Structure 1
């Protein structure tokens, strides 16, 4: 698969500090922490205070393991993750083909609406649909030409906004440090199992975890010599993500749990929180938080418009039997751009007229199984001769991936039940 970016300015063995090479991990983490994930964590803090803080930590560790596995596969084999999946049998394509098509259609509408909500709150003269559609079109233009370096810098800037605003809101609440420390001790309050799974599962992404291998290729990391810097990149990214999500839990615990204030599910919950901040600290606090809300939504939109489009281009190229270096399989290629259009244009209909029930059902059913699919296939791929022996899973990797697979299967069953019953 071809790339259009130049290699990094310094190799892992070069003289530049390694932190300067950090980037793809921050992109995957920023893309994965969207408005819905923030609300799930916020509601956990609202319901249980700090009791589920440990689940945030576990969620970060699980995502570190999965993303490291995706990166290790790419660097050790020189193959994309879809090529790895296809080596496991035709069943992977039977699942992935409808998933990426249906997911993209529904997610495109959700992502655009998610960016439209905070912008409408900041600038009410323009409606949510108009702001959302405009955000989708701007996102498409920003990634259309495939300049990875620009894309990475934009994501880094949005992460900075997210971090400053949400962590700032947490500091503003003056968190209770003793209760915060107690929350690191694993406990499962009555009725909190679903919240535990949502918090752990929602920390840092779903399908975008699998995009990590494509982003490290665009960064210029293509051989095992980049293994150490890839692992550093991954850990730094999820450290930032962990702090960010913990801050969200603190806000929920301090502002909502103690005052017994409930917020809605979905993106609307963050607008509810903005109103609480307005009442407690003034309009300035609300406005600053809404900027952070927009940054979280926009970073997710940009990441999907770029990363999942890359995955789709690779998928189509592989199915059509195109060579690895065919332009159509790479960033900026025909199928990459086709998927950007798929994410941007058809979902406008959903924004304007609403989502059909059958489409939401298909989205829920297919989406619920992606994380178990990723965890199980990585376990399979990284324990066989598909990978050179020195880069196969060790005992701890297998234990963590196994735990992750079990946790996400449980979450998938819960999401499947919700999708089918509508509860």
Structure 2
């Protein structure tokens, strides 16, 4: 397993207990030294050669892409394409670009100091920020787990139906849970297994993109000029059939990066032993491993759905659209057998990758808050905290009204709280020392972080005002 360059000696005032990540099986020191020499050599190489080497090596950016490419992203992308055609293609890249700005700051802080982010935030920003961040990450990973199993069970049922078989959603959910438990159980204890997991997730992200790319090839491009305008115009369309274009835009801007992603990311850096020497690689990895796959997958889903449901003859009610309903609508165009199955497999890959990473995030949160070693028995048990989400394969439709609104509001409030904590850390001389970004670039970076925080805050306010009263009426009725 690859890992970091050794950190400089901590100052006497800095407790060693918050430096580095306690692991049952830490990265191999010899491998770390070899990678450090490799990175030093690449620093002197031409940019194209360096980028190609970084692309082949990869990093935890793919994990973030796999986590955010879940059921919520699938549903919002399909809905945007069906309701508004190509006009909202700009939302996904803008949303993820804001996420990259914030995640790059998290990487810079973590790799520059070598300190674990939770105790660092507790010490240099305040306990309220730290515990709000950890609590939001754990809550989001548990509650939104139910929706992922609902999606996985539904597409497995649809794939079985295409094959002329019957697969109950409960059984499909159980199969996915068994897969996730086996995969996550090996993480943190075996460097080889962790590397296989990284490579597997990278392949899964590529497979998701290829599946949706196949669908777009079959449907074609309705209007190339409109496609280009969709990326460049940044327009907010008027409502259609009671669906607000502004609501879809705000939801899309806020959904790209979740509070559990922000918690998981720096710990995946530390689990690899990454340090100062990896800062350039980490920035590249956020673009190549997180931004580009997210952009491709969401764009292809919007385009495919727009071709059939917005510009085509297939009916769209303007109220709701599930991925399985989209697969059925696409079937006459892409093929009722293989085309439909390929689309379903892309959606299934999104759900399965998110399920595994929700479990991984729960393990990291509990290990950090309670001081457990990554890879220990207690860490593995903590990874199972989201496992009851398998009930979502059958019951999510009944549970969503009671869980979705309050969880979105609560986790939505905790994400900007975490962002405010990272804003404080980004400006903290006591924390970053000489690594604190300065000058015009530092100001622009900080401004991007503020913009990302404001975007999340606006979404939370809009969601609370628009959805909160209905939830309270349902609760009291």
Query: Structure 1 length as normaliser, TM-score?
Result: 0.88
Partner of 1:159: 205
Q: Report the Cα offset of residue 305 of structure 1.
A: 1.6
1:419 offset after TM fit, Å?
4.9
CA distance, structure 2, for counterparts of residue 264 and residue 311 of structure 1: 39
1:388 maps onto 2:433 in alignment: yes
Q: Quick one: structure 1 residues 264 and 295, their matched pair in 2 at CA, closer, same or farther if it must change by over 3 Å?
A: farther
Are residues 155 and 287 of structure 1, via their aligned partners in 2, closer, same or farther at CA, if it must alter by over 3 Å?
Answer: same
Q: What is the SS of the residue equivalent to 2:432?
A: coil
Partner of 1:54: 90
Match of 1:2 in 2: 22
Aligned mate of 2:224, from 177, 188, 191: 177
Displacement of 1:18 after TM fit? 2.0
Q: C-alpha distance in 1, partners of 2:64/2:259?
A: 10
Tell me how far apart the structure 1 counterparts of residues 368 and 35 of structure 2 sit (CA, whole Å): 27
TM-score normalised to the size of structure 2?
A: 0.79
The residue correspondences of 1:364-379 to structure 2 (distance < 5 A) are 364-379=408-423
Residue of 60, 64, 67 corresponding to 1:28: 64
Deviation at 1:139, TM superposition (A): 0.4
Could you say which residue in structure 1 is the equivalent of 2:389? 347
Contact 1:161 1:292 in 2 (8 A): yes
Separation in 2 of the partners of 1:57 and 1:292? 20
CA distance in 1, matches of 2:368, 2:261: 14
Match of residue 132 from structure 2: 95
* Higher CA-based Rg: 2
User: 1:197 — aligned with what?
Assistant: 250
Kindly tell me: are residues 217 and 295 of structure 1, through their superposed partners in 2, closer, same or farther at Cα, counting changes over 3 Å?
same
Is 2:275 the counterpart of 1:234? no
What's the counterpart of residue 40 of structure 2?
A: 13
State the distance in 1 between where 2:256 and 2:141 align: 20
Q: Whole-Å Cα distance in 1 between the matches of residues 128 and 184 of structure 2? A: 31
Q: Equivalents in 2 of 1:363, 1:167: separation in Å?
A: 33
Q: Contact 1:204/1:241 (CA < 8 Å) preserved in 2?
A: no
Give the Cα separation in 2 of the matches to 1:50 and 1:35: 21
- Are residues 349 and 245 of structure 1, via their aligned partners in 2, closer, same or farther at CA, if it must alter by over 3 Å? closer
Structure 2 counterparts to residues 22-421 of structure 1, below 5 A: 22-87=58-123, 88-96=125-133, 98-124=135-161, 125-146=166-187, 147-175=193-221, 176-183=223-230, 184-190=232-238, 191-203=244-256, 205-221=258-274, 223-237=275-289, 238-259=291-312, 261-262=315-316, 269-283=322-336, 284-317=338-371, 328-330=372-374, 332-344=375-387, 346-348=388-390, 354-355=398-399, 359-385=403-429, 386-392=431-437, 394-421=442-469
1:203 shift after superposition:
2.9
Q: Which moved more, 1:245-254 or 1:104-113?
A: 104-113
| Alpha-carbon separation, structure 1, partners of 2:469 and 2:333 | 38
